[in-house]
Structure 1
């Protein structure tokens, strides 16, 4: 049973907080879960990207409390499941804490390990595409959580 789920990207302002808040929304009825996110190169204390936040709000999800935080080995060690957006993120995770590699996967694992591209500083369409991917990939994980 996964009680502590960690989402990881680079800046922790677009993809991982979108997935974090989407999981929180979808799993709201499950008690005892900790769902959080961090970045390999976090823009520490920054809120969720404006466009990512707007898209979530349009779907009834409020991520306004999010503040980016730096990924550390202690955060990785406490997690039961670590979900990253790209293969490079998994490499970065294993460099920080090699012992967690058995519990670290791509968010897109159940869709042929498809990566979630970084929409940072891109068009609204790029953010919409990423939102749809994350929505599908989080749904794919629900049966295991």
Structure 2
């Protein structure tokens, strides 16, 4: 049983906090804890303004967020690690080779689809990323919820 899910991106201000929010929203009743971190985090920063605006446009009410740097300890405490890009998968495995069996693309169930970074791009890029993140989060949520 998964108890701690970690969502990773680069800066931890756009994609991973969005993914963590969407997963947590659907998994709240299961007791699964979802958090996020960044490989090159903008430590202490809130959600990027376009990422926040995109969540709000979709009726989401994200909790306050502060970016944090991925560490070996955070990885070790996680039962499932979800990344946005193949390169990030390799970065995680370089930091923690034993995380191989628990680290996957968020877009795994969409033919291992990568989710491009919308940072410093316009609204369309954030909307596109949101759509891909939502699809990935929904697919993982269905698989993580206990069978009834």
Could you tell me which residue of structure 1 aligns to residue 111 of structure 2?
112
Q: Does 1:57 align with 2:56?
A: yes
Is the 1:48–1:66 contact (alpha carbons within 8 Å) kept by the matching residues of 2? yes
Inter-partner Cα distance in structure 2 for 1:28 and 1:121: 31
Contact 1:53 1:64 survives alignment (8 Å): no
The corresponding residue for 1:25 is 25
Which residue of 2 is the match for residue 132 of structure 1? Answer: 131
Structure 1 portions without partners, runs of 5+: none
Q: Specify which structure has the higher proportion of helix.
A: 2
User: What is the number of residues matched between the two proteins?
Assistant: 144
TM-fit CA distance, 1:57: 1.6
Q: Is the 8 A contact 1:47 1:64 kept in 2?
A: no
User: What's the counterpart of residue 65 of structure 2?
Assistant: 66
Tell me if 1:16 matches 2:26. Answer: no
* Partner residue, 1:3: 3
| Aligned counterparts of 2:50 and 2:63: Cα–Cα separation in 1 | 12
| Aligned partner of residue 36 in structure 2, secondary structure | strand
1:144 is paired with a residue whose SS is: helix
Cα deviation per residue 1:88-122 (whole Å; 9 max; x = unaligned)? Answer: 00111011111111100000001110100000000
Aligned counterpart, 1:84 = 83
Q: How much is the aligned-residue C-alpha RMSD, in angstroms? A: 1.0
Unaligned runs of 5+ in 2: none
> Is the CA contact (8 Å cut-off) linking 1:19 and 1:138 kept in structure 2?
yes
Shift of 1:64: 4.6
Calculate the TM-score normalised by the size of structure 2.
0.94
Deviation at 1:29, TM superposition (A): 2.2
Quote the Cα distance in structure 2 between the aligned partners of 1:23 and 1:38. 14
